[in-house]
Amino acid sequence: MRIDDDAALHAYVEGRRTALFRSAYLLCGDRHEAEDLVQTTLVKVVLGGRRHGRLDNIEAYARKTLVNTFIASRRRFWRRERAYGELPETAHTASDTDTGLMVRAALATLTARQRAVLVLRYWEDLSVEATAALLGMRENTVKSHTARGLAALRAEMVEEPV
């Protein structure tokens, strides 16, 4: 998809925001953080579109920006600390299935790069070659991250005997 003007860029942002949010949520596992990640990504995409004047493949540019922004956010020191002003009185009840919760919890245990590779390969349905190009790594590295990430997910997903 080519973007040549601001109207086309605006239409792209409106049309792809939900899909980017889904990928961002799988990457970070937190709704609010995913919203922030998508917002940051879309700002970078709009600024990049204006700076370059024309983007030949806005979809790939947005996806790469999303993943790079996520990985960069995991490197920051302040991510290790969590401050809570007040704890909620009651626990939030999620309307998600148990399997979905287990998968997202298992994804949260992976490294940022493994999670990015798995989301791109299995959620975005990208090939090994496309994932390697998007993340700027060799195809063998993508394959090893995939194998190790899937092994870790399988180990986390093993059900405990009742």
Distance of CA 102 to the CA centre of its chain: 17
- Binned at pLDDT 50, 70 and 90, residue 52 comes out as low
**Higher model confidence: residue 75 or residue 2?**
75
Q: What are phi and psi of 5, to 5 degrees?
A: -145, 170
**Higher model confidence: residue 37 or residue 57?**
37
**Higher model confidence: residue 153 or residue 89?**
153
Query: Which H or E element spans position 67?
Result: helix 58-75
Neighbours of 53 (CB within 10 A): 9
**Higher model confidence: residue 160 or residue 68?**
68
Average pLDDT over residues 76-93: 60
Q: What are 30's two structure tokens?
A: 């937190």
Q: What are 156's two structure tokens?
A: 């986390």
On whether the pTM is more than 0.95, the answer is no
Is the pLDDT at 45 greater than 80, yes or no?
yes
Q: What is the dihedral of CA 117, 49, 43, 7, to 10 degrees?
A: -120
49: burial class by Cβ within 10 Å (0-12, 13-18, 19+)? Answer: buried
